[in-house]
Amino acid sequence: MQKFTTLTGVAAPLPMVNVDTDMIIPKQFLKTIARTGLGRSLFYEMRYDAEGRENADFVLNRPAYRQARILVAGDNFGCGSSREHAPWALLDFGIRCVIATSFADIFYNNCFKNGILPITLPPDDLEKLMADAERGANATVTIDLERQEIRGPDGGIVTFALDPFRKQCLIEGLDDIGQTLQKAPAVASFEERQRLGQPWLYR
């Protein structure tokens, strides 16, 4: 998993509440277990019309936000059905951080497992960031995970809370498998002791 330390980039405003996982990545794109290629289908039903042509009004289709790295959204982001394809699609598009006033639990947990930082902010702070994001590509935002700060284009700073364990996993780039592999020497040591003390288990 890619490490997350400091991220600077364009923040795209998506002032919508209850953005569910089917809106993030519609069900017809769930046939694959590959994590790549899903970015083109991110927010498919809002990004494209019935003929597959881009909807020029959708934020991620606007020139200023095509390279957005951060998404600023409304309340209850990632609600609906449980699907890991939702953070996969965001990550494949290039989104490494989603900021909202609240998240659905499963989506929130899945973000950390895939190297995406979900930040929860109170409404007043989110409103400031939404205003910054609406300024377009000339207004970049910096996320400093170590300091737990969001720095706006005019130098303003918003702090955020985060579980220390989740924070460290992102900084070190550790998903569940990576965390387990860190214990590999201890596992090998245990197996060797067990092999000597209970050899019949290994016959």
**169-198 confidence digits (pLDDT tens):** 999 987 766 665 556 676 767 777 877 778
pLDDT of residue 64: 95
Position 203 confidence tier, pLDDT thresholds 50, 70, 90: confident
How confident is the model over 127-156, as a mean pLDDT?
A: 93
Bridge partners of 14, per DSSP, are 73
- Average confidence (pLDDT) over 89-117: 97
Q: What is the pLDDT of residue 36?
A: 86
C-alpha 199/C-alpha 128 separation (Å) is 64
- Measured CA distances, 60 to 45, 46, 88, 105, 172 (Å): 12, 10, 17, 25, 29
State the Cα–Cα distance between residues 81 and 163, nearest whole angstrom.
24
Among residues 170, 130, 135, 168, the alpha carbon closest in space to that of 150 is found at 130
Picking from 28-37, 51-60, 134-143, 165-174, which range would have the lowest pLDDT averaged per residue? 28-37
Residue 33 DSSP one-character state: -
Q: The tokens of 14 are what?
A: 């998506």
Q: Rounded mean pLDDT of the chain?
A: 91
Which range (8-12, 62-66, 155-159, 178-182) has the least confidence? 178-182
Residue 157's pLDDT is 96
pLDDT exceeds 70 at position 154: yes
pTM to 2 decimal places = 0.88
Question: Which residue type does 53 have?
Answer: R
197 burial type by CB count under 10 A (0-12 exposed, 13-18 middle, 19+ buried)? exposed
> What pLDDT sits at residue 142?
97
pLDDT for the residue 113 = 94
pLDDT in tens, 72-99: 999 999 999 888 999 999 999 999 999 9
Token output for 29: 């794109």
Among 116, 114, 80, CA closest to 99: 116
Phi-psi region of 144 (alpha: psi -120 to 50; beta: other; left: phi over 0): beta
Q: Residue 53: helix, strand or coil by DSSP?
A: coil
What average pLDDT does range 99-114 have in this prediction?
Answer: 96
> What is residue 200's predicted lDDT score, i.e. its pLDDT?
83
Check: CB of residue 77 under 8 Å from CB of residue 98.
yes
Q: What average pLDDT score do residues 58-69 get?
A: 96
Report the run of H or E that residue 22 belongs to, with start and end: helix 21-24
Q: What is the pLDDT at residue 75?
A: 97
For residue 164, is pLDDT > 90? yes
Cα–Cα distance between 71 and 97 in angstroms, integer?
6
**What pLDDT, on the 0 to 100 scale, is given for residue 169?**
94
Domains and CATH numbers, the chain: 6-172 (3.20.19.10), 176-203 (no CATH)
**pLDDT average, residue stretch 153-177:** 90
